[in-house]
Structure 1
């Protein structure tokens, strides 16, 4: 039995019966068998299914949103929009997959030569708890529209969310077994990867877990796409629009109580505006309300699990001991649930804990850079490379940073976000491969070269 805990209360939220090894095998066998039929459907037929799924998600937005709030603490004002974004993803690929997957003609010594993007078969998607609908949909939808079937192994801490997603596909009229939920404990994930019918693996989660998944898939000579952790730099140069930058830095850091891979995590500020900008951040963070995620006026809900909160507090405490200034928060609150206050650490340097480790929670880290080039060096001084942002009024400087920042995506004077229209992913320990956009749907295809004389 998979049991979820409401992080706002510490009490049991939901339970879902789990599969044993035989049940896992039978489910994966069914997904594998369905791939032979689904791959032969037209893109127009697949699109019709995905449009129906989008409509069903919108119809069940409140119900599914409530499950997210109960199982991982997402505030209600963020839960509904996440379901909407998942529906948008389904609609986007329904409308654009034909263009993304069209044959690519390449001139050669043949009468005609081209690349045909064809499905691989059954794809195993392993998802995290922090965005139960959006992260799942951005993995499921491109795979299905490419003609693959999907086995969804969601995080065991959000079993009801996973079950609700599968139910939405069924109720939308999706053909049997093109997507199946795998309610299994984490220890059975290796067996799922090694199932002979699984042709590829998509994984979103920590760098440590991603390395295990990738090595297991590689040992079976199976393709994998990994979207892993991040310690995203948010660089603010002296000529930036400081008001706008402070607003976006705050928003990026506190979405989902800071539990996001692409959140702004290291705020790197050029020296001439450092003190002013830190003051602006403190003012904004101090206004945010931490509390009951079922209330519309709550800005930050709880941390999803007690062990995650304990690790976050360790990172904060260690960094203060190493010499950082805690200007806001930093103390464990009393009472039920796994809440953590908005915390602002200033004077952080590269030798400190929060500069080098990914922080998954509402902890803002301010770092001073003497000049623009020093800021660029600090931004790249990390083992991660997921997203990055640069704020400046100088177009030439902005393009310089965009080219030199070591990240899978860079935002200039804006928030780093995932968008079904654009590819997303990381480098270094932040992962490999891409999700979303035309690049994401092609990850799980056979780019078959066809040569005709």
Structure 2
């Protein structure tokens, strides 16, 4: 039995029995039949429906956001922003997919030669709970526009979100079964990947889950895209715009209660600005409004599950034993974890080396640019890095030295439909969003006519 628990009230929201293997197989067969219809639709026909989807999301943002807040405790204002971002990614691909997938003519000795971009078919998406709508729509919008259909294995604690997305698709006139949620446990994912009609799989989740899915897809010789954990650094140089940089760093670490793969988890501050920066940082974090996630002005609330808060507490306690010092916060009550600033963090500590999925900010001093680069690249993850400086020469010198999939200057790392998103090292492979993302699950067909 799989259950959903409201993390704020600790009340059970729902429980359900996983689908049987036979039921899953029937859903996959239905998806394949939907693909046969959907792939024949023109870009104009697909775009018309995707734009309706975008409009529906925008017009119903408050109601849909309340589902997110109920399931994972995300403050309601941030849940509404998540739904609005889903509407944006739908609109983006409705307006751009046809150009992104247009035939590419190549001059050779043939009468005609070109590359066409054709849909693969049924794509499985395995998605996490922390952005239960956005993670799905950044997969769904490009793939529907490409002519694919989707199966979703969503996290067990956000099944209301999964059902809401499925219902929206069904009610807007898309072919029946073009998008289906599979209520299954992780143990049954492999049988879905192996099914003959499932052509590829994309996963956003933990390193452990990524290894399992990559192995299963590899055994079946199927394409996979992995967007895994992150341990992003926020690198603050002496010449930064202090007040704006602090505000950005606070948002980078503490939005969504710190539960984001691209959150700025390691704060590296140069010696010359350290004292002033840490003082302003402490003030701004103290001023974050804590409270009920349904309150419009709440910024920090409960984490999604109590066991996640317990895991974060253990990472913090071990780091403290190794010499880290808590400047602010550090206490947990059930699923609530105080916004926490930790100083004197060194490279061997868990809150530096491991991904901390919650509102704990690990702070480390550095002196030179060389030291900063070493600290950034010293992580086994490689999702993104933010640097804060007014020195354009320094910016241009630093960008090639970072091993991450993204470098943001004077801004937090964030996903944008117009830009490719993905990491290196233990943060996974492949890209989502932009034209790079829509090309992940198409057949890039070479055509040569003599």
Q: Do these two structures clear the TM 0.5 threshold for a shared fold by scoring above it?
A: yes
1:105: how far off?
Answer: 2.0
Residue in structure 2 matched with residue 418 of structure 1 by the alignment: 415
2:401 is the counterpart of 1:404: yes
Of 16-25 and 368-377, more deviation after overlay is shown by 16-25
Distance 2:113 2:406 in 1: 33
User: After the TM superposition, which residues 193-342 of structure 1 pair with which residues of structure 2 at under 5 Å, given as runs?
Assistant: 193-333=193-333, 337-342=334-339
Distance 2:402 2:341 in 1: 24
1:192: how far off?
Answer: 1.3
User: After the TM superposition, which residues 112-127 of structure 1 pair with which residues of structure 2 at under 5 Å, given as runs?
Assistant: 112-127=112-127
**Deviations 1:166-217 (CA, angstroms, capped at 9, x unpaired):** 0111111111111111111222111111111100001000111111111100
Whether the 8 Å contact between 2:6 and 2:71 is mirrored in structure 1 is yes
Tell me, what secondary structure is at the counterpart of 1:293?
coil
Tell me, what secondary structure is at the counterpart of 1:189?
helix
Residue in structure 2 matched with residue 435 of structure 1 by the alignment: 432
Tell me, what secondary structure is at the counterpart of 1:151?
strand
Residue in structure 1 matched with residue 370 of structure 2 by the alignment: 373
Give the number of equivalent residue pairs.
Answer: 450
2:94 is the counterpart of 1:97: no
Distance 1:79 1:344 in 2: 25
Whether the 8 Å contact between 1:15 and 1:159 is mirrored in structure 2 is no
Unmatched segments (≥5 aa) in structure 2: none
1:111: how far off?
Answer: 2.8
Distance 2:15 2:70 in 1: 12
2:380 is the counterpart of 1:383: yes
**Deviations 1:244-299 (CA, angstroms, capped at 9, x unpaired):** 11110000101100000001111111111122212221111111122210111211
1:109: how far off?
Answer: 2.5
**Deviations 1:419-442 (CA, angstroms, capped at 9, x unpaired):** 111110001000100000000000
1:15: how far off?
Answer: 3.6
Which of 360, 363, 382 aligns to 1:363? It is 360
1:17: how far off?
Answer: 5.4
**Deviations 1:48-92 (CA, angstroms, capped at 9, x unpaired):** 111111122223322221111111111111111111110111111
User: After the TM superposition, which residues 57-206 of structure 1 pair with which residues of structure 2 at under 5 Å, given as runs?
Assistant: 57-206=57-206
Distance 1:245 1:406 in 2: 23
Residue in structure 2 matched with residue 451 of structure 1 by the alignment: 448
Whether the 8 Å contact between 1:43 and 1:145 is mirrored in structure 2 is yes
Whether the 8 Å contact between 2:307 and 2:335 is mirrored in structure 1 is no
Whether the 8 Å contact between 1:53 and 1:90 is mirrored in structure 2 is yes
Tell me, what secondary structure is at the counterpart of 1:157?
helix
1:344: how far off?
Answer: 0.3
* TM norm structure 1: 0.97
2:36 is the counterpart of 1:36: yes
1:94: how far off?
Answer: 0.4
Tell me, what secondary structure is at the counterpart of 2:14?
strand
Distance 2:275 2:237 in 1: 13
Distance 2:240 2:60 in 1: 42
Of 226-235 and 237-246, more deviation after overlay is shown by 237-246
Whether the 8 Å contact between 1:2 and 1:159 is mirrored in structure 2 is no
2:392 is the counterpart of 1:395: yes
Distance 1:82 1:14 in 2: 23
Tell me, what secondary structure is at the counterpart of 2:116?
strand
Of 270-279 and 232-241, more deviation after overlay is shown by 270-279
1:16: how far off?
Answer: 4.7
Unmatched segments (≥5 aa) in structure 1: none
Distance 1:320 1:168 in 2: 47
Whether the 8 Å contact between 2:329 and 2:338 is mirrored in structure 1 is yes
